[in-house]
Structure 1
Amino acid sequence: MGTAILDGLLSSLADEGKTRRTQRSQQLPTRFIACVDRPGSVEPLRKRISSMNGNTTAPVEVWLQRNVAAVEIAEIVLLACQPSQAGAILGDAGMAASLADKLLLSICVGLSAPTLQHLIYSSANSTTTAGHPGRCHIVHAMPNTASSVRQSATILSTADIPLPPEMEASAMWVFESVGTVTRVASSAMNAASVAAAATPAFFALALEGAVRGATAEGVDGEDAVRMIAQAMKGTAEMALKGLSPSKIKEMVTTPNGCTARGVEILEAGSVEETFSGAVRHAILRVFELGKQP
């Protein structure tokens, strides 16, 4: 996910540089450092970055196991690791001091801002405490993989302590650069994260099934993907403009028509209930991940 966000940010910077339309009070990023923990990840990431349509004025460096050093020179930090890795990263010697007074954007599923504060400031290496001068400012967010094409549906929740205005602007710029941002209460963060970040996989499964049905009846595979994906995009646009799912279904379906026949098959298979159950079980898994050491 971190690489997808980086791809979207570089693309956004490139577009803003071309149009010269940006008038912002905060300084835009001019350098990126991507930290990885395995030697085998370095070259693949470098190759992927080299293929991105990024802005050459914002170079990307890939560092191996130098998290504290990278954070020390950074102004904005994106924590994009597995939840089980966060404790070791944030509790590393010198990390709390390196994060002092900086903006920490976390996309670790299931780990709230208070939990992240605890991981940083409960360490014996920490000389600051959350809520006091020298602490970092945490934003808990959950984008999705469409960040790479700047179509993410990002969910954002901040800690109880308000962010300084310039940090608020920086956080919004990062996530608005890769899609839309919806703010939710911290209590709804886990459920909302699944609704925005996990459902693209569910929709991809539906797309695969629809494409398989079309190709079985003679439609070219590439044409089927293009047409059905566009139909999904159009459906999404109608929903975003205020039409309810039931209304969209009503507009498309005529009695005894071909759409009605297909809807009957889906309803007989309890597809709506299956999707509902998938979302609910995914949400439960988020809570489980947040409790794992």
Structure 2
Amino acid sequence: MLACGTMGSAVLSGVLDSLALLSSRTEAGTDVAIPGRFLACVKRPESADRIKQTYGDKVEVFLHDHASAVAAADVVVLGCKPQLCEEILTAKAMKEAFRGKLLISVLAGTTINQIQDILGPDTLVLRAMPNTPCKIRQGMTVICFPSPPSPASSSADLSASIPPASIKPLVQWIFSQIGRAVFLDEKHFDACTALCGSGPAFACVMLEAMTDGGVMMGLPFTVAQELAAQTMQGAARMVLEGNHPAQIRNSVSTPGGCTIGGLLVMEDGKIRSTIARSIQEATNIASGLGKKK
């Protein structure tokens, strides 16, 4: 984990928790070589202390010496702020350390080509966009492979420990341990950053508003919050199981009932367009995060 901040820690926590549930180093029925050694790179002593306190001896911490950690790894997950990408990747000995490695970037607004231009063709660069619920293994990750060339035909001379044919299953395995993972073209990544990366914040605004409404009508705060959170989770799970949101809404909206009354108030407040425009604005901002000022 290169620049192991909030997102890096979320991914790391999810994978380590998942490994604790596995009885063997390789899942039955797959050829995925499950990672067995974890390294975290940070710049500040307090960050190093935080990782040591959180993970103990499960994670080796590298303070400042990022090149040594990269050289010792087969797979590198880059989780710095987009504006720090070039500074980190162009540091002394980094390009050499990355030769033959697989780099998974979780940077918003930073394209594969931008990173590839820095590191050269000897490093295979992929993009992934996870979100913070990865920390409790309920995340949503979008993954993109460079095209062309495909991973199997990449000019990168990857380590013998990662055969080209196993790269996609390995990446999918990593992010499937912390939630759901889907593959999309890179052109969709800014929208995915807005919908998945910023989405938990938008959902929590809705959650807070529903909680406030319950409190206003006399419910204790903790009860209102639990009811709102479980209701949102239940509705989301019904959608993931194949139910269309409109079907769920209609099934609850009985003629002359309280649900349709509440829905009309929401429509008066233009809640649909407000939320949709929030995704649009977040997408526009995400598209500029990796660009030089």
**TM-score interval for Structure 1 and Structure 2 normalised by the shorter chain:** 0.7 to 0.9
1:87 is aligned to 2:98? no
Q: Is the 8 A contact 1:154 1:175 kept in 2?
A: yes
Query: What corresponds to 2:186 in structure 1?
Result: 186
Residue 76 of structure 2 corresponds to 77
Say which is worse superposed, 178-187 or 15-24, in terms of deviation.
15-24
1:32 to 28, 35, 38: 38
**Partner of residue 228, structure 1:** 228
Secondary structure of residue in 2 paired with 1:232: helix
Q: CA deviation at 1:19?
A: 11
| Amino acid of the structure 1 residue aligned with 2:288 | E
RMSD (Å), alpha carbons: 1.9
Q: Could you tell me how far 1:18 is from its partner in structure 2?
A: 8.1
Residue matched to 1:168: 168
What is the SS of the residue equivalent to 1:3?
helix
**Superposition deviation, residue 70 in structure 1:** 0.3
Match of 1:48 among 51, 54, 67: 54
**What residue number does 2:134 align with?**
147
- Maintained 8 Å contact 1:16/1:22: no
Could you tell me how far 1:47 is from its partner in structure 2?
Answer: 2.5
Q: Which amino acid aligns with 1:88?
A: E
| Structure 1 partner of 2:263 | 263
Offset at 1:71?
Answer: 0.2
CA displacement at 1:15 relative to structure 2: 0.9
User: Residue 243 of structure 1 corresponds to which residue in structure 2?
Assistant: 243
Q: Is the 8 A contact 1:103 1:137 kept in 2?
A: yes
Amino acid of the structure 2 residue aligned with 1:247: Q
Deviation at 1:75, TM superposition (A): 0.9
Q: Deviations over 1:252-289 (max 9, x none)?
A: 11122111221122111111111011000000001121
Q: Residues 212-240 of structure 1, C-alpha deviation per residue, up to 9 Å, x if partnerless?
A: 11122222322222222111111112222
In structure 2, distance between residues paired with 1:202 and 1:24 = 37
Give the CA deviation at 1:185: 1.1
**Is contact 2:26-2:33 (8 Å) kept?**
no
Q: CA deviation at 1:159?
A: 0.7
What is the total number of aligned residue pairs between the two structures? 274
Secondary structure (helix, strand or coil) at the match of 2:80 reads coil
Identity, % of aligned pairs? 30
Matched residue, 1:199? 199
Write the distance in 2 (CA, Å) between the matches of 1:20 and 1:159: 27
Partner of 2:4: none
Q: Which moved more, 1:24-33 or 1:206-215?
A: 24-33
1:157 aligns with 2:144: yes
Query: Which residue is 2:23 aligned to?
Result: 17
Is the 2:207–2:229 contact (alpha carbons within 8 Å) kept by the matching residues of 1? yes
Q: Distance in 2 between matches of 1:148 and 1:36?
A: 19
The answer on whether the counterparts of 2:32 and 2:166 sit within 8 Å (CA) in structure 1 is yes
Q: Which has the higher contact order (CA 8 A, sep 6+)?
A: 2
- Residues 1:268 and 1:183: Cα distance change in structure 2 (over 3 Å): same
